[in-house]
Amino acid sequence: MGNSSKDDSLTDGDASSGDAPPSKTSLYTEGEKVLAYHGPRIYEAKVQKAELMKKEWKFFVHYLGWNKSWDEWVGADRLMKLTEENVLKQQELDKKQGVDKNVKSGRSAHTRPKSSADVKAEKEDTKTNVVKTKKRKTESVAEKEGASSEKSVKIQIPSTLRKQLVDDWDFVNQQDKLVKLPRSPTVDEILSKYLDYRSKKENTTSDSLAEILKGIRCYFDKALPVMLLYKKERKQFQDVVLDDMSPSNIYGAEHLLRLFVKLPELLAYVSIEEETLTRLQQKLTDFLKFLQKNQSTFFLSTYDSIKGVEGKGKGKDD
């Protein structure tokens, strides 16, 4: 590449003379969610910082759901916009390659980051199998743990609850339906039912379990509006949840279960010793089993159509 400017000082005035002048505004902004290549895989990541270094934009990224120790500076060639189109490409790849449970490549086995040319080629031709399937968080967490000593919480969601999540997705996104609020039992009620159930079983009240349940409730209240709602549910949230109400007192098992999908991502921000993490995992898993056991009473079997929920619109059906 021709080095047009002999001057190394970072005056942005001479950018115009370069053959590939870096734009003064970066392609990715701080806080933006992106797709990031790391070795042969693509991960969801978040740009924490963007800086112009030696005339090149560098981005400090955090891989969502991964321990902070993986955070790193990368060039723009490692990143892709988090657009529907790009996600779709990934998903195509996912489907094409299936979820290969045998792939055991951790970070240590990864090759060097690709050159921008490689990345471009891959981006354009997703049909080649150069890019390995992107693994979803929970699976990749498990994998990485095998490959290195990196720890992050693993949460195995029982299969009937996984199905529940798919149905939930279907109701809202495919059938335009919503969970009728307020729910019964609410998240708060479910959590205290569980605490009761455990206390009776063990004949003692476990302070550590109580703390975890408080933690779940706190996450739920904070996370619901920012990461647990499908787009179509936002209006309902605004209508139903007024200023000083806690979502955990209005929403129920349907949304609580979604929190468990996001839990590894949230817990990655806390450093936890391995032993404690194992205990935490056990407790979370046990709670999921409890949800599963009570699936028919905790979860709705049908949702209301959006028109019905929103009130006296033109009643299309029902």
Residues lying near another protein in the complex (CB under 8 A) are found at 31, 33, 90-91, 94, 98-99, 135-139, 159, 162, 165-166, 168-169, 207-208, 210-212, 214-215, 218-219, 222-223, 225-231, 258, 261-262, 266-267, 269-273, 275-276, 279-280
Task: Closer to another protein by CB, 3 or 159: give it.
Answer: 159
Cβ count within 10 A of residue 41 = 18
Q: Which helix (H) or strand (E) holds 45?
A: strand 41-53
Task: Decide: residue 256, CB within 10 A, 0-12 exposed, 13-18 middle, 19+ buried.
Answer: buried
Instruction: List 74's β-bridge partners, or say none.
Output: 59
Q: Which residue number, 5 or 285, has a Cβ lying nearer to another protein?
A: 285
In the complex with another protein, which residue's Cβ is closer, 214 or 289? 214
Query: DSSP string of 140-192?
Result: HHHHHHHHSS---------HHHHHHHHHHHIIIIIS-EE--SS-SSBHHHHHH
* C-alpha span between 143 and 72 (Å, rounded): 20
Minimum distance from residue 151 beta carbon to another protein (Å): 12
Least distance in angstroms from the C-beta of 76 to another protein: 21
Query: Minimum distance from CB of 252 to another protein (Å)?
Result: 15
Q: How far is the CB of 94 from another protein (least distance, A)?
A: 5
The residue among 257 and 309 lying less far from another protein, judged by its C-beta, is 257
The amino acid occupying position 172 is V
Task: Give the H or E element holding residue 198.
Answer: helix 187-202
Q: How far is the CB of 162 from another protein (least distance, A)?
A: 6
Q: Which is nearer to another protein, 89 or 114 (CB)?
A: 89
Q: How far is CA 154 from the centre of its chain?
A: 13
Least distance (Å) between residue 60 CB and another protein: 12
7 Cβ contact partners less than 8 Å away, ≥ 6 residues apart? 14
Nearer to another protein, 237 or 290 (CB): 237
**Cβ distance to another protein smaller for residue 1 or 226:** 226
Min. distance of Cβ 295 from another protein in angstroms?
16
Nearest Cα residue to 140 out of 258, 285, 271, 268: 268
Largest CA distance in the chain: 77
